[in-house]
């Protein structure tokens, strides 16, 4: 599979562990789709794009060797990208709500416009990212330690959110996704969740990304709330990169 060598134009620090890298790539990408980013000699990981214009961006958290290598890429150096892969969020007119925790907020960023509300959650203030892309009257921050915004997790934010919206989009760690799913499941709302699993090929060959018969790279990574009801592994267990099943 051929990779596109994308020269990094600029790098912006979003938090002590998260950076945004910008590059030019003349390919249409839809919100929620992902690309595989390869670092020669280290590895390849899936990443959603955090902006989709002529200049595109990825927003990366340093959580292991491949992502650490990407985070340390400097302007003028190359990112090696293939894709885009997977399905995408359903874009709606009207008011909508994005719910992002940690670096999960990055894949939701292309959905933010003047009619978007946001709930952004993190463990503490230094990990809160991308609040600046919202109309500030429309964004609510929650932190576990109360160092910024409302003290508590995403659900505490949802409890005080009292607007009707056309669609809710959710991305973040699976524990948070599962909690939001349980909060919303009996309510009359439309919601889409972006899931994360280990991905090797990105194109439906290796099955490393499977969850209850669905392949995240082809059937996802975005799933409507009704489909999550069919997934017994959702919120419970997943395969590691080496194929070991672990509890979530």
Residues that bind ligand FES (CB under 6 A): 199-202, 204-209, 215-217
Q: Which is nearer to ligand FES, 8 or 217 (CB)?
A: 217
Rounded to whole angstroms, how far apart are CA atoms 106 and 129? 8
Q: Which is nearer to ligand FES, 105 or 199 (CB)?
A: 199
Q: Which is nearer to ligand FES, 55 or 237 (CB)?
A: 237
Q: Is the peptide bond before 84 cis (omega within 30 degrees of 0)?
A: yes
Rounded to whole angstroms, how far apart are CA atoms 192 and 139? 19
CB neighbour burial string for 185-198, b if at least 16 within 10 angstroms, e if fewer:
eeeeebbbbbbbbb
Query: Is the Cβ–Cβ distance between 100 and 139 less than 8 Å?
Result: no
Quote helix, strand, coil % in the chain, to nearest 5. 20, 35, 40
Question: Whose CB is nearest to ligand FES?
Answer: 217
CB of 238 to ligand FES, least distance (A): 13
CB of 74 to ligand FES, least distance (A): 29
Q: Which is nearer to ligand FES, 46 or 157 (CB)?
A: 46
Distance of alpha carbon 110 from its chain centroid, rounded?
11
Q: Which is nearer to ligand FES, 18 or 216 (CB)?
A: 216
Q: Which is nearer to ligand FES, 8 or 216 (CB)?
A: 216
CB of 229 to ligand FES, least distance (A): 22
Is residue 192 within a helix (H) or strand (E), and if so which, with residue range? Answer: strand 191-194
CB of 31 to ligand FES, least distance (A): 20
Q: What is the dihedral of CA 178, 182, 186, 190, to 10 degrees?
A: -30
According to DSSP, residue 152 is labeled: S
CB of 219 to ligand FES, least distance (A): 9
CB of 227 to ligand FES, least distance (A): 17
């Amino acid at each position: 599979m051929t990779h596109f060598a994308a020269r990094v134009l600029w790098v912006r620090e979003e938090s002590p562990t998260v950076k945004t890298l910008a590059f030019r790539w003349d390919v249409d990408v839809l919100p929620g789709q992902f690309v595989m980013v390869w670092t020669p000699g280290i590895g390849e990981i899936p990443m959603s794009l955090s902006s989709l214009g002529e200049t595109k961006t990825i927003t990366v958290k340093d959580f292991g060797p491949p992502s650490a290598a990407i985070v340390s890429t400097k302007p003028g150096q190359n990112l090696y990208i293939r894709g885009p892969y997977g399905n995408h969020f359903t874009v709606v007119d009207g008011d909508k709500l994005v719910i992002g925790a940690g670096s999960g907020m990055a894949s939701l960023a292309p959905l933010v416009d003047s009619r978007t509300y946001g709930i952004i959650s993190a463990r503490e203030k230094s990990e809160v990212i991308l609040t600046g892309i919202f109309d500030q009257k429309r964004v609510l921050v929650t932190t576990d330690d109360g160092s910024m915004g409302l003290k508590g997790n995403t659900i505490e934010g949802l409890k005080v959110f009292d607007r009707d919206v056309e669609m809710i989009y959710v991305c973040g760690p699976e524990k948070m996704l599962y909690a939001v799913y349980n909060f919303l499941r009996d309510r009359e709302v439309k919601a889409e969740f972006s899931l994360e699993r280990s991905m090797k090929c990105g194109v439906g060959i290796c099955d490393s990304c499977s969850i209850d018969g669905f392949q995240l790279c082809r059937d996802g990574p975005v799933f409507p709330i009704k489909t999550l009801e069919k997934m017994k592994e959702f919120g419970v267990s997943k395969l590691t990169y080496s194929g070991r099943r672990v509890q979530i």
